[in-house]
Structure 1
Amino acid sequence: MKKHYFLTLFTWFTAFSAFAQVDYFFPGETFDPAIPSPEEFLGYPVGDWHTRYDLIVKYYEKLDEVSDLAKLQTIGYTHEHRPKIILTIASGQNIEDLETIRQRQVQLADPSQPKPDVSQMPAIVQLGYGVHGNEPSSAEAALLTAYWLLASQSELAQNLRAEAVVHFDPTLNPDGRDRHSLWANSNKGFPPVADPLDREHNEAWPGGRTNHYWFDLNRDWLPLAHPESQVKVEWYHQWYPNVTTDFHEMGTNSTYFFEPTKPYGSENPVVPRKNYDEINPLFASYFAKYMDEIGSLYWTKEVFDNSYPGYGSTYPDIHGGLGLVFETASSRGHLQASQRGDISFAFTIRNHVVNSMATLEASLDNREYMHDYLREFFETAVAEGAKDPAKNYVFGDEFDQGRNRLFLQFLIDHQIKVYENSEDLNLNGQEFKKESSWIVPTNQPQYRMVRTMFEYEKEFADSVFYDASAWTMAAAYGIPFGASPSADPGSEITEVSLPKFEFPSENAYAYLLDWTDYFAPKMLHEMQEAGIHVEMINRPFTAQTQEGAVEFSAGTLMIPMGFQKLEKEEIREKLADLAESNHQQIYGVQTGLNLSGIDLGSNLVGAVEKPKVLMLVGPGVSSYEAGEIWHLMDTKVGMPITKVNSDNFGRVNLFDYTTLILPSGNYNSIEGNSLEHLKDWINRGGTVISFKTASLWLNRNEITSEELIESENKDPQSLPFAVRRDFEGAKELGGSIYMAKLDLSHPIAYGYHQENLPVYRNNSIFVKPSKNKYLTPIKYSENPHLGGYVSDANLELLKQSAGVLISPVGQGRVVHFFDSPNFRGTWFGTNKLFLNAVFFGETMN
């Protein structure tokens, strides 16, 4: 290992720029002059500016160009079409043999294959940086570490090039990084301003932490809602790295964190103890040694969560590797004052550089050990799965093929083996028909991910969670499922086929579209965009169609051919095209007289107004929740919505819109005439869709008058100061799953066929059911807790509260959501509750 000499802990920014960068980051080392340093390439020392992502890509392209030891590939693109790249550095021979090395690594992760000779296999390391765009030091460290590995003449660097394959992902979140970099560079002072109140250190909403749709990509390794994560996880399964890093920043007054994380309380229940008890401490000794040499303070075993499978440092732990999270104190700009002095951007970068090097040394020293662990991980997974009494999980929704396809693809993307179900099954009263259900055996290498998909966890070593405490993905998709020790798997599903339906060959009196399928709202939007008049049938009925007698549920859409502005043949062509592109079945009927139930001209049938939606965003509003809504409407419905900052609300004429969405947040900037305009618009028929704290704001401003449920539990008068975090944190409801009961006759539940529905809740706002007995369409079951942490006191309050309720306001209404129907772009099972409020809001009171 190279020797660092001690430098001043905090380096004044302008002084740093005055001496050679190598002396600061790599003292005493020599480098190959044929390899340009980042400073030579960029024209400024790393740390002087926040480097734009395109320049990071160009520098890696330059390394690929000048060295046979570097290979660059583009694995995909972000929402804003920035390339997602991987730079691989290894010996010339290993670069030539890269595909053979990859196949051998995948073979090592497959217990059904002979174990390769690990003594001849290079260490496979993935250095991942910058999942949070406004934690910028890590991507700068990616530039310097790649340069060091490729150009350093040190013994360690040479050994790594010979005996390791190192993959660099310099920025997991390019869109967010550029948003933050523009802010920091645009607001940089000369000299830089260390005052934390300076504009440079306080980004405008929504900040650069998140991606284009304001999602935290460090939660997306499991949900796979975004292209950045989709291509990254696909790449991950092509390599199964032994070690994966995840570099972050934290508060300016902190020091540096590396794993181990908090014992037991922050650990994932499916990860083997060996990971936490042996491997993490082994690697930590390297990090401590490197940090000791430069005099940086650090800490371990506190706070940071390692339980949620969607973290970039946890997902590898569930795949036989070692995921490592690192957190450095942030300068949140170029220089910022802290309790220990001024922190420079360069100082934060150096912390990550030395821990990148420490990770590489630890991975090299423990190369065979980590290879053996990878094989052991999957061998024990198969053995544990074979002993699991569940044996098989059977899943499938008889009515919603769209969600079935989404879940099937999701399982396949995570390399979980799925099979056809060859027989009808009844599991604890749930029917699973063979043509619309599938089987996931527990006896497979991905057994621990199978548990992640289907198990509910209720027992925890801690009661305070940094993030979600529940993640049962079958529940998120709203897919009925059950364990079956005796199921008989059929053929393996390796790709998801799309259904094809024949459009009715004869001209029809009217056409019908069942509202059950997940993608029916997209079809409705596209029909309305095409100028097709659509009506909704508010009661169940049976009609004679080209498929014979078909039962339809409430919420079915009707296209009456006698009430259209377009010509009949044009309607038929448009409907056929839209049905094919959306994979929807259209039924034709020759009469308005139904076989049973209401007829097509009933007063319980009415036109569906084309929604025009406004959503308030901006300072004080939850960007996560707003982003979930925006992402859903864009990517799953294809419907544009208008986003307006709440402090610009005075410029809005609400009568240009049908629907106003208020994500959780503070709307105190809406007052005076603006508030009166809002009240007038609702009273005249407007629909507000309100989430959590936004509903409290509506109550405070006397737009609604719903009643909160307050806890009757009294805190002790005195407690030790040291327990304050645990005691107060245990009161929070930080992300768990509950069973809701739907009123299937209410428009909020149209498209659902079962009254039981898992819902996700991550707040402690409890509101009494409506005084109007018809307007609490979603409550909780008698014993609602399915998974995740909840205190006994909060569970009792939840049982008494409403999940969704409707507040009539004059001719309008407010639809209140106290759960999270669009959580992280992956709660497909509850999306339709929200979309029903968008499309059918005017019918809900």
Structure 2
Amino acid sequence: MKTFTLLAALTLTGFTAAAGLAAQQQIEPQVPAPAQILGFAPGQWHARHDQIERYFRELAASQPERALLQEIGRSHEQRPLLQLVVSSKANMAKLEDIRRQHLAVAKGEQQLDAQLPLVIWLGYSIHGNEPSGANAAMQLAHYLLSSDSAEVSQWLEQAIILIQPSLNPDGHDRFANWANMHQGLNPVADPQHREHVEPWPNGRPNHYWFDLNRDWLPLQHPESRARIAQFHQWLPQVLGDFHEMGTNSSYFFQPGIPSRNNPATPDENYKLTALLAKYHAKAFDDKGKLYYTEESFDDFYIGKGSTYPDVHGSVGILFEQASSRGHLQDSINGPLSFATTIENQLLTSLSTLRGAVAHKAELQQWQRKFFRDSQSLAADDAVQGYLLTESADQSRLQDLLQLLAQHQIKAYALTEDVSQGEQQFPAGQSYFVPLKQSQYRLLKAAFSTETNFRDNTFYDVSAWTLPYAYNISFASSRKVPSALSKTPWQPTVASAAPVTAGAYAYAIRWQDQRSPVLVQQLLAKGLQLRAASKAFSAETAEGVQQFAAGTVLVPAGLQQGDWFSVLQQAQQQQGLALAAISSGLTPMGQDLGSNQMVPLKLPQVLVMAGPGMNSSEAGELWFNLERLAGVSPSLVEPARLGQIDLSRYSHILLPDGKYQSWNESDIAKLESWIKAGGVLWAQKSALEFVAKQGWIASTVANKEELKQLVKLDELRYNDKEKLAGQQRIAGAIFQLELDLSHPLTFGLPRAELPVFKNDLMLLKAPGKDFVTVGSYRSGKQLAGFVAPELAGQISKSPALLAQTMGKGRVIAMVDNPVFRGYFTGSSRILVNALYFAKAFDSASGDDDGAAE
């Protein structure tokens, strides 16, 4: 076979001395190098996702006996999500058998066979503007399929290697196009050069501006769902998670700070991580490259790529390369080139394979022991599982069960009623999630309500309790209920009997999560709808039924054209049961023709989204409006406020951000719009802007004064980080006490509502009556760490205000109700603001509704 040296191949691909590989290894020339397909050496230009895809397709086609390229899903923008499976010819010939045997061995269903290959997962560039990983993935794949070295042959014989080259293709292309469009004849290293200063929202997030590396647990996006499905298909023993960090850093690999590991992660995991770290260190030592470990970052939030594996018997390893954020940038360590960042990611990719294969037996035995120990821990746990229930909104409950199922967590329907203390769990709308299952550790972590930890300094959030996020009532149980379904929950398509013609009106109960989407569909088709401002009863074919405040009515007498076909089609699409009311005269409450039946209008929503705004929170508003309300908002940069026609919009949403750039003319324009009938929603730091204008009857507490309440004894210089960690709210869950008579709370099942708090933002008590919709409940810090001094200040302070202003409304929420897209319980407040904002009036007497 004709061969040429690895040195020549690396020259073709942009490296002349990469990765500590012997320069005289032989490679197969028929295996295309990246430069041969791309037309340039990686590092000279930023490869777009379509170019990466083309390369992997050509590469896999050249070696069909040792490589399998799979399209495992699609991004929001319909870019393919790729996975390359690489192993020896013999292993690939029986790949599915190996996969099944591997899972059976890991779960303790079969004995470990020493010949069974290890499974190694290498995932790159989940943050789109951290492109060195995606480009290094091409180099790695080429090397594995072209080298005939004894070491590579051993790797392929001993391991199944899964390469996911671009975990966030939409963000990746956003950044690649930006960097490439500023490339000149020579790279410019000036950090102030436009290439190194990305525009808002930059390439880090996905299409909806979400951080996909925080979505391993919530699974709100197709990229994450595809990724997690493959994770459970393969259950790797080692997972490499490749990232970038600030330009003036060097290179980080785990282990991180020992005290900041999640308690669900066994100590053995940390030891194995440290064992593999020796291989990364040697690779960098041999090259004289800078690196560090056991600093910064942490392994606490289980929804990150390096932590999620740790609660599955895998060894998740975070790699962080200093970023060139372009092609070349000056740093404190000298000029940092894109090619160098790629080389470093290739180095640790290879050291991961080298270390993992060298310790194959230990890693396989550890994963097997992990699941065996989990079963023992579950058997000895005083808690045997969790009870879940929701009576009025089965859609929200089903969504939580669907999420658990995606994480391979089983839930079983109750077939008889169960009481747990004062809580009732009726059959037919309740489930039991046993702890004695393979996902014991993940389940304990996902349902955790801890509020204090070994180390109370957090890189990310300290709470994420799934039932709280979905506002599902739950309780731990010390015994397994005696009456459970035989089979675990399985997803079903929502369905309902079609509505029949001839009714006086049709009622849409507002409690179900799908109801707002149905209402939006009907309004968009021109149907006339009314909302009940108070509870009532009505005659139906099934007798007198009770209807809660917020019920939406479709009065037959107000409709025109072929409206019934529109109603029936939309109802079937959403799978919601509607009640057919036979008379407008009600036995209890307002009649259907009452003025207390409020007309609903089609929301026309603007979200401020652009420089100065928190892109994550703007994206979360956008995403949740579409998914939970069926509304696609207009996205407008704050700088354009003075230029746009506000009369087009019924609602303007202000996410967390900076509003100092608006001048007096901009503010006057917005104020006039509100007074003319507009609805303004403001959350988190937007409250400071709204309060400063006097549009709400409250003021914002001084953050610096709040921080000074937190003290540590005998402070030393080394305590700076610890003190800063205590003075911030990294992410905890609190309970609100709601006024259920207020229209903004329509459809919510209880007065108690969990909300996520990750900012030291507090409002003072308002100076007016009837404007407080919700306050933090005293002593109800549900999960996550907050310093006691701060928790005391939070208790009983207002969290949600709603105020009349002229003909318009101002709604202010201290927290983000749509945190990371999965806090669907508190999302209902935002959705209600779209439809019921005009159903309340905080003014009284001759009050004109202006804030005092």
- After TM superposition, is the score higher than 0.5? yes
Aligned-pair distance for 1:302?
1.2
Does residue 121 of the first structure (1) align with residue 121 of the second (2)? Answer: no
2:607 to 607, 611, 615: 615
Give the whole-Å Cα distance in 2 for the aligned partners of 1:243 and 1:697. Answer: 48
Give the whole-Å Cα distance in 1 for the aligned partners of 2:500 and 2:697. Answer: 53
Letter in 1 for 2:136: A
Gaps of 5+ in 2: 1-6, 842-852
Give the whole-Å Cα distance in 2 for the aligned partners of 1:498 and 1:546. Answer: 26
Q: 2:236 maps to what in 1?
A: 241
Give the whole-Å Cα distance in 2 for the aligned partners of 1:54 and 1:657. Answer: 38
Aligned-pair distance for 1:810?
2.4
Aligned-pair distance for 1:17?
8.2
Letter in 1 for 2:444: R
Does residue 166 of the first structure (1) align with residue 158 of the second (2)? Answer: no
Give the whole-Å Cα distance in 2 for the aligned partners of 1:261 and 1:722. Answer: 18
Task: Report Cα offsets for 1:237-264 as digits up to 9, x if no partner.
Answer: 1110111111001011111100001112
1:203 to 181, 187, 198: 198
Aligned-pair distance for 1:749?
0.6
Gaps of 5+ in 1: 1-6, 8-15
Give the whole-Å Cα distance in 2 for the aligned partners of 1:106 and 1:844. Answer: 56
Q: Secondary structure, in 3 states, of the residue corresponding to 1:126?
A: strand
Matches within 5 A, 1:93-112: 93-111=90-108
1:187 to 182, 185, 195: 182
| 8 Å CA contact retained: 2:772, 2:800 | yes
| 8 Å CA contact retained: 1:31, 1:152 | yes
Aligned-pair distance for 1:603?
2.6
Does residue 563 of the first structure (1) align with residue 563 of the second (2)? Answer: no
Does residue 410 of the first structure (1) align with residue 403 of the second (2)? Answer: yes
Q: 1:796 maps to what in 2?
A: 792
Letter in 1 for 2:265: V
Give the whole-Å Cα distance in 2 for the aligned partners of 1:190 and 1:546. Answer: 77
Aligned-pair distance for 1:580?
1.2
Give the whole-Å Cα distance in 2 for the aligned partners of 1:388 and 1:715. Answer: 36
Q: Secondary structure, in 3 states, of the residue corresponding to 1:490?
A: coil
1:604 to 580, 596, 619: 596
Give the whole-Å Cα distance in 2 for the aligned partners of 1:323 and 1:716. Answer: 35
Letter in 2 for 1:367: K
Does residue 454 of the first structure (1) align with residue 447 of the second (2)? Answer: yes
Aligned-pair distance for 1:371?
1.1
Q: 2:142 maps to what in 1?
A: 147
Q: 1:177 maps to what in 2?
A: 172
| 8 Å CA contact retained: 1:317, 1:323 | yes
Give the whole-Å Cα distance in 1 for the aligned partners of 2:499 and 2:203. Answer: 50
Aligned-pair distance for 1:27?
5.2
Give the whole-Å Cα distance in 2 for the aligned partners of 1:294 and 1:465. Answer: 33
Moved more, 188-197 or 254-263: 188-197
Aligned-pair distance for 1:388?
1.6
Aligned-pair distance for 1:453?
2.9
1:771 to 767, 770, 773: 767
1:762 to 748, 751, 758: 758
Letter in 1 for 2:793: L
Does residue 787 of the first structure (1) align with residue 779 of the second (2)? Answer: no
Matches within 5 A, 1:157-306: 157-264=152-259, 266-276=260-270, 278-306=271-299
Aligned-pair distance for 1:204?
0.6
Letter in 2 for 1:573: S
Q: Secondary structure, in 3 states, of the residue corresponding to 2:247?
A: coil
1:136 to 122, 131, 136: 131
Give the whole-Å Cα distance in 2 for the aligned partners of 1:749 and 1:595. Answer: 25
Q: 1:4 maps to what in 2?
A: none
Give the whole-Å Cα distance in 2 for the aligned partners of 1:239 and 1:283. Answer: 21
TM-score where L is the length of structure 1: 0.95
Aligned-pair distance for 1:506?
4.8
Letter in 2 for 1:698: V
Does residue 352 of the first structure (1) align with residue 345 of the second (2)? Answer: yes
Q: 1:556 to 1:110 in 2, by over 3 A?
A: same
| 8 Å CA contact retained: 2:13, 2:42 | no
Aligned-pair distance for 1:638?
2.6
Moved more, 806-815 or 832-841: 806-815
| 8 Å CA contact retained: 1:709, 1:801 | no
1:677 to 651, 669, 679: 669
Aligned-pair distance for 1:735?
0.7
Letter in 2 for 1:361: R
Moved more, 38-47 or 686-695: 38-47
Does residue 829 of the first structure (1) align with residue 825 of the second (2)? Answer: yes
Give the whole-Å Cα distance in 2 for the aligned partners of 1:699 and 1:84. Answer: 45
Identity of aligned residues (%): 37
Task: Report Cα offsets for 1:433-457 as digits up to 9, x if no partner.
Answer: 1100111111111111221332212
Does residue 706 of the first structure (1) align with residue 702 of the second (2)? Answer: no
| 8 Å CA contact retained: 1:287, 1:358 | yes
Give the whole-Å Cα distance in 1 for the aligned partners of 2:775 and 2:269. Answer: 41
Give the whole-Å Cα distance in 2 for the aligned partners of 1:254 and 1:504. Answer: 63
Task: Report Cα offsets for 1:381-435 as digits up to 9, x if no partner.
Answer: 1111112222121102011011011111111111011111121112222221110
Aligned-pair distance for 1:715?
7.0
Aligned-pair distance for 1:714?
5.3
Q: 2:731 maps to what in 1?
A: 735
Q: Secondary structure, in 3 states, of the residue corresponding to 1:316?
A: helix
Give the whole-Å Cα distance in 1 for the aligned partners of 2:718 and 2:437. Answer: 45
Give the whole-Å Cα distance in 1 for the aligned partners of 2:407 and 2:656. Answer: 32
Aligned-pair distance for 1:584?
1.0
Q: Secondary structure, in 3 states, of the residue corresponding to 1:784?
A: strand
Aligned-pair distance for 1:797?
1.4
| 8 Å CA contact retained: 1:504, 1:546 | no
| 8 Å CA contact retained: 2:508, 2:551 | yes
| 8 Å CA contact retained: 2:378, 2:436 | yes
Give the whole-Å Cα distance in 1 for the aligned partners of 2:372 and 2:490. Answer: 26
Give the whole-Å Cα distance in 2 for the aligned partners of 1:292 and 1:674. Answer: 57
Q: 2:632 maps to what in 1?
A: 640
Task: Report Cα offsets for 1:660-712 as digits up to 9, x if no partner.
Answer: 00001012232132221111111222110101111101223444452223446
Q: 2:850 maps to what in 1?
A: none
Q: 1:153 to 1:652 in 2, by over 3 A?
A: same
Give the whole-Å Cα distance in 2 for the aligned partners of 1:335 and 1:210. Answer: 22
Give the whole-Å Cα distance in 2 for the aligned partners of 1:692 and 1:152. Answer: 55
Q: Secondary structure, in 3 states, of the residue corresponding to 1:384?
A: helix
Aligned-pair distance for 1:757?
1.5
Q: RMSD of the alignment, in Å? A: 1.8
2:420 to 410, 420, 427: 427
Does residue 91 of the first structure (1) align with residue 88 of the second (2)? Answer: yes
Aligned-pair distance for 1:719?
4.8
| 8 Å CA contact retained: 1:86, 1:169 | yes
Q: 1:512 maps to what in 2?
A: 507
Give the whole-Å Cα distance in 2 for the aligned partners of 1:591 and 1:185. Answer: 66
Give the whole-Å Cα distance in 2 for the aligned partners of 1:739 and 1:715. Answer: 22
Q: 1:547 to 1:716 in 2, by over 3 A?
A: closer
| 8 Å CA contact retained: 1:769, 1:805 | no
| 8 Å CA contact retained: 2:14, 2:339 | no
Q: 1:13 maps to what in 2?
A: none
Q: 1:714 to 1:513 in 2, by over 3 A?
A: closer
Q: 1:18 to 1:41 in 2, by over 3 A?
A: closer
Q: Secondary structure, in 3 states, of the residue corresponding to 2:272?
A: helix
Task: Report Cα offsets for 1:610-632 as digits up to 9, x if no partner.
Answer: 11001111111010001011111
Give the whole-Å Cα distance in 2 for the aligned partners of 1:363 and 1:127. Answer: 12
Q: 1:370 maps to what in 2?
A: 363
